[in-house]
Amino acid sequence: MTTDIVAESDRLILRPWGPDELSVLHGILSHAETMKQWPAPLSDAYIKSWHDWAQELWAERKLGRWALVRKSDGAVIGDCGLVPMELQGSAYTDLGYIVHADHHGQGYGEEAARAILAVGRARADIDPLVIHMAEDHLRSKRVAEKLGFVENFRFVHPENAGKTHIVFTDGLTAIPR
């Protein structure tokens, strides 16, 4: 565990993943119901690379995927963050959030996303913010809309079983089509 805090909200703390938290991350990313919008729950090797990547991005740029911690009991209930990505030949920063299925429907996704958005908007050194998800991921779509993001375009995601994904922007970011 790390004591660095990226952001806080009323109920949540967002902080970098610690080097000893691979098993905690595994419990989220390998959970079938939590990962139902992905092609499959993530493999052990993929989760290890995700964990390593998150730590590298934090060390290099203070970006990455972070542990989503509930303040009331210290439980890690998800994974979230800001990561660089490329879409249609342009650089963007993806605002992402995964809340363990045991905690769905309690507003944690939106609360985490609002905290992440505040971090992203405060940074002048990152690319424009986007949020993307599979088009049938209605919970995630609602979170993006509640944040004021608007649908920009759709694309077939080659790494997500050919599912169509929706890319949302903050209304200020233009993505060339």
pLDDT value of residue 128: 86
DSSP H or E stretch at residue 110: helix 108-122
| Domain layout of the chain by residue ranges | 7-169
Q: What is the pTM of this model?
A: 0.89
Average pLDDT over residues 166-175: 78
Does residue 160 surpass a pLDDT of 80? Answer: no
pLDDT value of residue 176: 58
- Give the end-to-end CA distance of the chain in Å, rounded to a whole number: 41
Q: Where does residue 101 rank: exposed (0-12), middle (13-18), buried (19+ CB within 10 A)?
A: middle
How far CA 72 is from CA of 102, 136, 138, in Å, comes to 16, 32, 27
* CATH number given to 7-169: 3.40.630.30
Give the CA angle between residues 84, 87, 89 to the nearest 5°. 105
pLDDT value of residue 36: 87
CA distance 95 to 115: 10
Does residue 161 surpass a pLDDT of 80? Answer: no
Residue 32 near residue 24, CB atoms below 8 Å? no
Q: What percent of the chain has pLDDT over 70?
A: 95
The set of residues, in sequence order, having a beta carbon less than 8 Å from that of 163 and lying 6+ positions away, is 37, 134, 135, 136, 156, 157
pLDDT value of residue 177: 56
CA distance 9 to 119: 12
The dihedral sign for the CA sequence 83, 85, 87, 90: positive
pLDDT value of residue 130: 94
Tell me the pLDDT tens digit for each residue of 24-56. Answer: 999 999 998 998 888 778 889 999 999 999 999
Confidence of residue 115 (pLDDT cuts 50, 70, 90): very high
109 forms bridges with which residues in the sheet? none
- Local structure of 124: helix, strand or coil: coil
Confidence of residue 68 (pLDDT cuts 50, 70, 90): very high
Confidence of residue 101 (pLDDT cuts 50, 70, 90): very high
Confidence of residue 172 (pLDDT cuts 50, 70, 90): low
Average pLDDT over residues 120-146: 90
